[in-house]
Amino acid sequence: MAGVSPHYDEVFAEVAQRARLSGSLGKADIAVLTVWKRLSARTPWAAVLMSRPDAEVRAVTARAVAAVRDTALPRGEAARAGRAVLGQLPGLRTGDALASAVLTAAAPGRMAVYDRRVQAALDALGFTLTPAPGRYGRYLRLLDGLLLHGGPRADGWTARDLDTALYWAGGNGPQPS
């Protein structure tokens, strides 16, 4: 991590702060997270998303935010519920990289980012996480197990801390998720 600017996650923190205050994420927030994840916006979904009214995007993300913040639900179930809601938006229907960034910005102390580097680290460590539907909820359940059984080394860690460690273990080149 020494090669990464300490300022890299500033935009993520700004989006998380706006989500905390507003209870939703808008098109601008999703655009920022797209750049933060180093994803390409030169795709058909980006144009379709930008053609939607921001109020519509916020209405959908507000339901996803409420789901992932619902502490009455186990983390994995909350993740699954939030991910299902986001599936209503272009760019968030398939794949978990951007959707997980949106959900993590909505609840940074509870959720975690998933991408192919995290998957590579999980594979290397011998953990099975298939791409079958519901992967994001299963991923959060897996992280819960790692945090629970991590012993003193995991004391004080969040799911976000663990996803960051997995990200670095899985390779950190500039390739998109």
Q: How many CB atoms lie within 10 A of CB 63?
A: 17
Residue 99's contacts (CB-CB under 8 Å, 6 or more residues apart) are 83, 86, 87, 92, 136
What does the pLDDT profile of the chain (177 residues) look like in tens digits?
556 677 888 999 999 999 999 999 999 999 999 999 989 888 999 999 999 999 999 999 999 999 999 999 999 999 999 999 999 999 999 999 999 999 999 999 999 999 999 999 999 999 999 999 999 999 999 999 999 888 887 788 999 999 998 998 887 544 444
Q: How far apart are CA 88 and CA 153, in angstroms?
A: 39
